[in-house]
């Protein structure tokens, strides 16, 4: 009888060991592998998973910052107070934050392909200067701009793209006319610069609010082109210039 009892104890103990090992293996299998940047471009689902992963990681940092600096948290909840409003290109290579050393609440950003100044962009900048009291407005282009290239090469595009590229065409035409004898690279740079300047002119000419605020000295206006290789801005128009 004692032997049977001992055998049962041994069997129960062995079963528990096996179950614990099985649960341990299952737990290890359940733990997900963090998605990678390389995977993000392989499918829409992978892109969302990586986006969510990055958001969760950055949220932890933000929470830590908020806990250590409650005044900063309160300033973000109270309202925004950017010092510059930028009309820039939506190109993912343009490192606006790195170039400006910008922090939260510094930049009011309006990003559109080709840094085109559309009606919505004008309305956004008007909101920034009128209601947020932003003192500086900058139109920023960048080298190797795909939208400008598409316009220069008269690329066949569909959807709503022709309308956007059409807004760049006056800059390409004026730069081409002024850059007689330029090689292809120099002409490309000239067109990009002309497009940034055109954007600034559009803001001034099409917005009475921006024009009035500039005349009254409430805002400064500038435009330039960011060099993707080093992040430097080559200024085309700085405040005070015509």
Q: Contact at 8 Å (CB) between 88 and 94?
A: yes
CATH of 80-242, one of 3.40.1050.10, 3.60.15.10, 2.60.120.1140, 3.30.200.20: 3.40.1050.10
pLDDT band at 5 (very low <50, low <70, confident <90, very high): very low
Predicted local confidence at residue 4, as pLDDT: 46
pLDDT band at 14 (very low <50, low <70, confident <90, very high): low
At 88-140, the pLDDT tens digits run 999 998 877 776 776 778 899 999 999 999 999 999 999 999 999 999 999 99
Please indicate, yes or no, whether the overall pTM of this predicted structure exceeds 0.95: no
Beta-carbon contacts of 121 under 8 Å, excluding residues fewer than 6 positions away, are 87, 110, 112
Distance (Å, whole) CA 62 – CA 75:
14
| Exposure string for 33-67, b = 16+ CB within 10 A, e = fewer | eebeeeebeeeeeeeebbeebeeeeeeeeeeeeee
- Of 223, 158, 216, 147, the residue nearest 188 (C-alpha): 147
At 199-215, the pLDDT tens digits run 999 999 999 999 999 99
Distance (Å, whole) CA 97 – CA 106:
10
Predicted local confidence at residue 88, as pLDDT: 95
């Amino acid at each position: 009888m004692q032997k049977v009892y001992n055998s049962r104890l041994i069997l129960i103990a062995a079963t528990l060991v096996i179950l614990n090992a099985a649960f341990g293996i299952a737990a290890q299998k359940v733990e997900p592998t963090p998605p990678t940047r390389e995977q993000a471009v392989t499918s829409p689902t992978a892109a969302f998973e990586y986006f969510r992963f990055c958001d969760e990681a950055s949220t932890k940092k933000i929470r830590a910052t908020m806990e250590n600096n409650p005044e900063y948290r309160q300033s973000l909840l109270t309202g925004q107070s950017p010092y510059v409003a930028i009309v820039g290109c939506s190109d993912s290579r343009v490192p606006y934050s790195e170039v400006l050393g910008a922090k939260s609440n510094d930049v009011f950003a309006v990003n559109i392909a080709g840094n085109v100044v559309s009606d919505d962009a004008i309305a956004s900048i008007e909101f920034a200067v009128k209601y947020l009291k932003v003192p500086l407005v900058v139109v920023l282009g960048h080298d190797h701009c795909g939208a400008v290239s598409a316009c220069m090469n008269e690329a066949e595009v569909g959807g709503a793209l022709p309308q956007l590229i059409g807004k760049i065409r006056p800059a390409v035409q004026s730069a081409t006319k002024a850059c007689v004898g330029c090689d292809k690279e120099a002409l490309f740079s000239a067109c990009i610069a002309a497009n940034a300047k055109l954007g600034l002119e559009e803001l001034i000419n099409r917005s009475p609010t921006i024009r009035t605020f500039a005349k009254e000295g409430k805002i400064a206006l500038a435009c330039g082109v960011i060099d993707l290789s080093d992040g430097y801005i080559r200024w085309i128009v700085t405040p005070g210039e015509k």
